[in-house]
Amino acid sequence: MLIFSIVNQKGGVLKTTLTVNLGAGLALKGYNVLVIDLDSQCNLTQSLIGDIGDTKNISEIILSDGKENIFDVIQKTSVERLHIAPAGESLASAELQMSNIMTRQYLLEKTLQNTFLNKYDFILIDNSPSIGLLTLNSLVASHYALIPISCEFLPMVGLKYIINTIKKVQDDKRLNPDLEILGYILTLYDKREAITLQVENMLRERFGDKVFKNVIRINTKAKAAPAKQQSIFHYENLKGRGTQDFKNLTIELIEKLKHE
């Protein structure tokens, strides 16, 4: 079982879209995948199963400090082999409650360790654009970080902040010295725009092979799919450029892991 944090301190870079469709891509390859919604906006949950109302969600499991089982909240999605641990309204106040718990930075790790999760090959965690206790928990519990970057100026400016946050987690032996950045993924890619090529060149020059070769192009269907609680694969009926982009990205991810 490998655990991934999908993180960036800038919103609008397609973290949730990446979590949904990379999870679906892996599931379609025959892997068992769990996605976890750690963003209080609940966008991942809305994208896959819709509003869950007062149903028990991931915040209650985390705040139990290892006493409750995450399987109590896991739900199926429309994609076979893809399950979700959803978020609800209570996640918005979770960080405030977590601050009163001594082992607050290890709550998610404890939740995952204390649960028989060997049925899953991959766990993907969708995070808030702000770096708080929930995102820290995600990084502490993960083997790898994946960083989506939209092909715009501001995400490039803010990139140093998420890299510095990850470095602090790596440098603190009490947190997660084994955490690795698996790679950077270019999103909202439009080769007709000069800024896209500028961002791509800057990233590839700075990070080399850490930047995924495959990119996620701008795609209006990817924006529409969450309204139907569908992945891009199902929304496009496996025929479209969004499907092709995420299929290629999934294959590259698997290849990167083999090399790791």
Give the residue ranges of the chain where pLDDT is below 70.
114-116
Q: Which of 260, 233, 10, 16 is nearest to 144 (CA)?
A: 260
pLDDT computed for residue 92 by the predictor: 85
pLDDT computed for residue 188 by the predictor: 94
pLDDT computed for residue 230 by the predictor: 93
**What architecture is the 2-183 domain classified under in CATH?**
3-Layer(aba) Sandwich (3.40)
pLDDT computed for residue 206 by the predictor: 93
| Tokens coding 58 | 């991931």
pLDDT tens-digit series, residues 36-49: 999 989 999 999 99
Strand ranges for 7-143 from DSSP E: 33-38, 75-76, 82-85, 122-127
Measure Cα distances from 26 to 30, 224, 253 in Å.
Answer: 7, 21, 9
Does this model's pTM top 0.85? My answer is: yes
> Half-sphere exposure of residue 65, counting CA atoms within 13 Å on the CB side?
8
How many angstroms separate the CA atoms of 91 and 113, rounded?
A: 21
What residues contact 6, with CB distance under 8 A and at least 6 apart?
Answer: 15, 18, 19, 22, 124, 125, 126, 127, 145, 146, 147, 148
> What is the residue extent of each domain of the chain?
2-183
Q: Which residues pair with 127 in a beta bridge?
A: 38
